[in-house]
Structure 1
Amino acid sequence: MKKTYILDTNVFLHDPLAMLRFEDNDVVVPITVIEEIDTFKKDQSEIGRNARQISRLLDSFRQQSHLTEGVSLESGGTLKVVLFTTEAYDRLPPELQTDKADNRILAVALQMKAECECPVVFVTKDTNLRIKADAVGLDAQDYESDKVSIEELYSGTAEIEIDKSEVDRFYGQGYLDLAADFVVDLLPNQCVTLVEAGNPSHTAIGRYQATLDRVVPLIRVPKDGLWGIHPRNREQQFAIDMLLNDDIQLVTLVGKAGTGKTLLAIAAGLYKVSDEGAYSRLLVSRPVFPLGRDLGFLPGDVEEKLSPWMQPIFDNVDLMLGMVDEQGKRKRGYRELVDMGLLEIEPLTYIRGRSIPKQYMIVDEAQNLTPHEIKTIITRAGEGTKIVLTGDPYQIDNPYVDSSSNGLTYTVEKIKGQDIAGHVTLSKGERSPLAELAANLL
């Protein structure tokens, strides 16, 4: 049955094209929502840009017909702006009859439910507002057009049980062509563990190369490691293989705190830039949360303002360089790499409009970005640029996204199966026994 969806302000600020995502159903925008969007239009952040895009889109519909009468959408539904009336307030319980934007939007939703014969659904990303909507008898839902089930997130790895002769053949010839009777459907660049049937200790690891339909060995880590960093488990071996492979231009690393996501990415990036010269520089960034927030509240120039946000990056670089030698004297730090032009630290605030060619770009804490912000970043990649996204979906500071709707998990699901993309989920903590205990129990 056709439904009527009433959208809250935060739905539009999260996805400016939200009104077009409801197929042939009717979409209602309370006038209070437009009033709230107007307060964000001068903001220079991603939210401000979304607000301006929403206004332009609504204005284009206005030119077709009166919004209060309803405008036909290409999907078959209609878009309608509904005005708030004092009579609608009477439908709210006394506790909610206060002059707040949320309460006015709820009143409009209740009025639509009373007038419409079809099912009415109130859509908002505000958890508390969904609770209040449910309390007054509305069917309240989260906006889920870009949600990915975190429990079913693509891991990037697979195990295949094969005969002993097949494992030996992989070691002998350096690859293994997949037989037609393999029941595992592998995606391009999926990491594979080959296990001998009946002998789980006899294994081999590799990566599926879709163009040749075969499992190929992982890239060997140099004897001295990547700036002294060696993989400590199988998942880290998988990650390093993708980080060092120039054919894989987009790598996503997901894992809890202490699994080595950022350290491995920086180590591989410095190796590719300084040792191999495959890229002109290593560009590292993190969301200055929220993305686009003015840095002027901190003293100093841009670099000084950014320093507190980027300290985790500096810590990882200093760990690889070694801050103190055997005599206790201070050794090289990240500042030397910056001065040499090998390393650049930059806020995502100023990335829009840029073109970034031939650089190794790492975006740390990517779980705090929205899908639209991730798209903005990836579309900056110029010729020869590699992008690495790292993050933990369970450590999110952005109130507008959660573990299922953030840009990192969204990218993992949307990009899987592409020849130039790869993903690994890291689960074993290697920072310290204490960090691993805290990550698992607290």
Structure 2
Amino acid sequence: MTENTTIEKEYILARPEDEVALLGAQDQFVTILEEGLQVTIKPFGNVIKVSGAADTVDQTLAILRNMSDLLAKGIKLNSADVISAMKMAGKGTLTYFKDFYNETLIKDAKGRAVRVKNFGQRQYIDAIKHNDITFGIGPAGTGKTFLAVVMAVAALKRGDVEKLIITRPAVEAGESLGFLPGDLKEKVDPYLRPIYDALYAILGAEHTTRLMDRGVIEIAPLAYMRGRTLESAFVILDEAQNTTNMQMKMFLTRLGFGSKMIVNGDISQIDLPHNAKSGLIQAQHILQNVAHINFVTFSSDDVVRHPVVASIINAYEANDTKPNGAKK
């Protein structure tokens, strides 16, 4: 049999009622698997026919088996789960796929379980649990901000902390705050949108607003942290690649007793003026061996957005490493 030989195998659904949940609404999971593994999937009632190269057909069947096992346990799947399974199958680690569903981090505003989606996210969560300060460094779409907010809200609900403080430097991505209408809060809020989105997803918009009104949740530009000591608080610094060295030092030294800090950033997306060095990059070098501080690095493999996002990240990284690439 040559490498180019196409084979066809069948996967038989043990529970025909799981067909829609296994294949996704409008067969969206089918599309993800077909594009990602170069296979053809044809459902016929409780029989799913998969054709393609032998190794990718076997990977697809293994993914379907794992997904079916999770559905049998009452676990609902989404596109991110399918992408994660596909990546693990490619790396030969699909055996551990179902382990991610053993722990629920929190239930979101709609009552759905929030869990880690891949090994990178599991390392990140473990680091947050066991360290006072955790750095999450890597590209967009890896779940850094969302999971940081998840862990913060979970700590708040358990009573481990009394406040949730989320901040980011007010550095514009090629835009100017000065030309935007409104007061400082109205100018800065659009830059904090991903944080609001995460809070709304986990707590709901009304509950988030109530907690903000009571001062339990505080969202503010990084400059507002100066001169404070943050006791019994869960503090998240997002977009940390846009801090200067002095800002990073100022922020980290706000840590008080009974507090945790998470510092997230993407060093490929630095919007600082050209002569300014990123405080996040310097912190990587300076704090690498300091006790109670952990660095978790994500890669494009950990992206849980649309598969094209990971391809975009890889394409830009490849271009930036060329001799004439636009490397920062």
The alignment's TM-score, normalised by the length of structure 1, stands at 0.44
Match of 2:151 in 1: 268
Distance in 2, Cα, partners of 1:226 & 1:236 = 17
Q: Cα–Cα, structure 1 residues 279 and 224, in superposed 2: closer, same or farther, change >3 Å? A: closer
Q: In 2, Cα distance between the equivalents of 1:296 and 1:384?
A: 38
* Structure 2 residue identity aligned to 1:281: K
Per-residue CA deviation, residues 202-249 of structure 1 (Å, 9 max, x unaligned), is 999xxxxxxxxxxxxx9997536364421000110111112233xx11
The sequence identity of aligned pairs, in percent, is: 33
Q: Which of residues 293, 296, 310 is equivalent to 1:424?
A: 296
Tell me the secondary structure at the aligned position of residue 236 of structure 2: strand
| Residue 321 (structure 1) shift | 3.7
Contact 2:100 2:118 in 1 (8 A): no
1:241 pairs with 2:129: no
Q: How does 1:21-420 map to 2 (within 5 A)?
A: 222-223=103-104, 225=106, 227=108, 228-245=113-130, 248-273=131-156, 275-289=157-171, 298-321=180-203, 332=206, 334-400=208-274, 405-420=277-292
Larger Rg: 1
Going by fraction, where is helix more abundant, 1 or 2?
2
Report the Cα distance in structure 2 between the residues aligned to 1:282 and 1:298, rounded to whole angstroms. 28
Amino acid at match of 2:189: S
Give, in angstroms, the shift of residue 302 of structure 1.
Answer: 4.2
Secondary structure class of the residue paired with 1:435: helix
Partners of 2:101 and 2:115 within 8 A in 1: no
> Helix, strand or coil: the match of 1:346?
strand
Structure 2 match to 1:144: none
Compared with structure 1, are the counterparts of its residues 201 and 426 closer, same or farther at alpha carbon in structure 2 (3 Å cutoff)? closer
Distance 1:363-1:438 versus aligned 2 partners, 3 A rule: same
TM-score (norm 2): 0.58
In 2: Cα distance, 1:371 partner to 1:425 partner: 20
Cα displacement string for residues 33-64 of structure 1 (whole angstroms, at most 9, x for unaligned residues): xxxxxxxxxxxxxxxxxxxxxxxxxxxxxxxx
Distance 1:202 1:258, change over 3 A: closer
> Residues of 2 paired with 1:233 and 1:441: CA distance?
22
Question: 1:320 is paired with a residue of what secondary structure?
Answer: helix
- CA deviation map 1:176-204 (0-9, x unaligned): xxxxxxxxxxxxxxxxxxxxxxxx86999
Find the residue that maps to 2:308 and give its secondary structure: helix
Once residues 294 and 101 of structure 2 are traced to their aligned partners in structure 1, the CA distance between those partners, rounded to angstroms, is 17
Q: CA separation in 2, counterparts of 1:271 and 1:315?
A: 17
Rate the CA distance shift 1:224–1:242 in 2: closer, same or farther, 3 A. Answer: closer
Cα offsets for 1:250-293 (capped at 9, x unmatched)? 110001111111111111111111x2111111100111017xxx
CA shift for structure 1 position 301 = 4.5
SS at match of 2:231: coil
| CA distance in 2: counterparts of 1:264 and 1:401, whole angstroms | 32
State the alpha-carbon separation in 1 of the partners of residues 273 and 182 from structure 2: 28
Deviation of the 1:438 alpha carbon: 2.2
- Distance (whole Å) between structure 1 residues aligned to residue 102 and residue 284 of structure 2: 25
The answer as to whether partners of 2:181 and 2:187 remain within 8 angstroms in 1 is yes
- Structure 1 unmatched runs, 5+: 1-199, 205-217, 323-330
AA at the equivalent of 1:286: R
**Deviation (angstroms), 1:394:** 0.4
Cα-Cα RMSD? 3.0
Q: 2: CA distance between counterparts of 1:221 and 1:384? A: 28
